[in-house]
Structure 1
């Protein structure tokens, strides 16, 4: 897959000559609804012997439209992760548009001319709620007006699972509540992000539960505070584990939020390593214990529950589950 970074206005030579089927959207999380859009684009491309292109933005449009603080934005999939997911779906060209004020204030006709027609799209594929400007005049119903018969249009209908609309908004809400079963069922894969292993207090070793302290990119949306069943990929191998997102309130107050991962049956030093963590199941909230022994007993129970989860869900460690649809 070729990743093409675009700053408006772009130069003509930045655009590959190939005619494409172009999938449009922001695609935060690349959930099952997004996957349906890309699958439709891919099927149409195979039918017409064309390349598949996807266009997205480097950050959420609301930063420009609603003047939100860019540092406060949290995503289900930061750009690095989104690139991984798109590549796994068989995309040929991945356009990442820098969403600036100039780009965001393009008129609908200008957007269609410059970012659909001039990207050599023979077909544009998007979800039913896709917009490319003010929603009342720049939506999927009005797209044929701006297209002027220069490309075909495929609208992908709303995806519903178990009576619930599949949307990034609903998935974010569930993540904030720690409902990983909902999150993972709507994503179609297990929620995952990367982080670097850094030095911490080394207190876990004295408890019999050494942890990898994870530093993650600031725009990653974390599950809610608590203890989770996780799996961890280190140098290409997946391990079972459990993780805590919280403030270590048992030992002192007013600490910064930390992510600590206990990796089962693993005792190597991995400081500085970049590891992947998948978030399978919420076990419990963060609790302040009156003493170390109470914490150790709880950790013993957490590990038993985690091992039970993997025993009952053996497919969880199968990396091929990712992007199963």
Structure 2
């Protein structure tokens, strides 16, 4: 997949990125959940049917962050992970459009004329709730009206599970409540984070449970503080384990930034500096403070047993 950076106004090179017609799906796609996959899948199907290239247009930073919603400073899928998922789906081109005040102030008409038309799109695929242009004045009907026959517009209906619409908000709500199983079902994959193993306090090894302290590659959405059963990928190999997300209240009175610490079963290698991918499989318990190290160690052993049991059949 080729990745192309765009910003408004498009320069001569960026506006001529593609000489041939293409099918493009537009959205922020944070989460790349099952609803998003319906939109992207429709673009892939249409592109194949028309024998054209398939494209994604997404935005960075997240439009809601620029509009003042601080919740979207943390993402379900930061840009690099989104790109990886798009590539796995078979997308040919990924346009990352810088979302700033200049782009935000474009009218729907200007967005079509100054962004879409120069990209020579044959068909535009959007979700039912797509909004564009200044103050979100444009919607799928507006897009159809403004196309003036220069490109087709396909609108994808909402994707439902058990009668409820799948959305990034529903994924966030599930994770915030520790409902990993529900979040993973909505995503159609396990919620995962990527980061580098860095030096930590090294307390874990003193109590018989060494942990990898992970510095995240991006601003990931943080699930409920607690202990999770996980699958980890390290240097191309896969391991089971447990992860604590939180502020380690037994050892501190509270830290401003949560730590992400993973203990991998049957693993003893030095992996400082290595990049690891962690998938959350199940929520075991909320983080809490213990009155003694012995009580903490006993609970960690119980957590590990619970995790092994849940992960054994996977």
RMSD: 1.6
Contact 2:227 2:286 in 1 (8 A): yes
Superposition deviation, residue 141 in structure 1? 1.4
Q: Secondary structure at the match of 1:80?
A: helix
CA-to-aligned-CA distance 1:121-163 (integer Å, 9 cap, x gap): 1111010110112577410112221000111111100100122
Contact 2:196 2:217 in 1 (8 A): no
The whole-number CA distance in structure 1 between the counterparts of 2:124 and 2:226 is 42
How many residue pairs match? The answer is 311
Q: Secondary structure at the match of 2:175?
A: helix
Contact 1:22 1:116 in 2 (8 A): no
Superposition deviation, residue 251 in structure 1? 2.1
Contact 1:235 1:275 in 2 (8 A): yes
Contact 2:25 2:126 in 1 (8 A): yes
Structure 1 equivalent of residue 52 of structure 2: 50
Structure 2 residue 266 is the aligned partner of structure 1 residue 273: no
Structure 1 equivalent of residue 185 of structure 2: 185
Superposition deviation, residue 62 in structure 1? 2.4
The whole-number CA distance in structure 2 between the counterparts of 1:173 and 1:133 is 28
Contact 2:35 2:166 in 1 (8 A): yes
Contact 1:289 1:295 in 2 (8 A): yes
Structure 1's consecutive aligned runs of 4 or more residues displaced over 6 angstroms after TM superposition are: none
Structure 2 equivalent of residue 37 of structure 1: 39
Structure 2 equivalent of residue 317 of structure 1: none
Structure 2 equivalent of residue 127 of structure 1: 127
CA-to-aligned-CA distance 1:265-286 (integer Å, 9 cap, x gap): 1100111111111111110011
The whole-number CA distance in structure 2 between the counterparts of 1:251 and 1:74 is 26
The whole-number CA distance in structure 1 between the counterparts of 2:137 and 2:286 is 46
TM-score, scaled relative to structure 1: 0.92
Change (3 A) 1:169 1:69: closer
Q: Secondary structure at the match of 2:141?
A: coil
Contact 2:25 2:124 in 1 (8 A): yes
Matches within 5 A, 1:15-30: 15-30=17-32
Matches within 5 A, 1:1-325: 1-14=1-14, 15-64=17-66, 66-68=67-69, 73-133=73-133, 137-217=137-217, 219-256=219-256, 257-312=258-313, 314=314
Contact 1:106 1:133 in 2 (8 A): yes
TM-score, scaled relative to structure 2: 0.95
Change (3 A) 1:128 1:180: same
Superposition deviation, residue 74 in structure 1? 0.8
Q: Secondary structure at the match of 2:300?
A: helix
The whole-number CA distance in structure 1 between the counterparts of 2:179 and 2:108 is 38
Unaligned runs of 5+ in 1: 315-325
Q: Secondary structure at the match of 2:277?
A: strand
The whole-number CA distance in structure 1 between the counterparts of 2:150 and 2:246 is 53
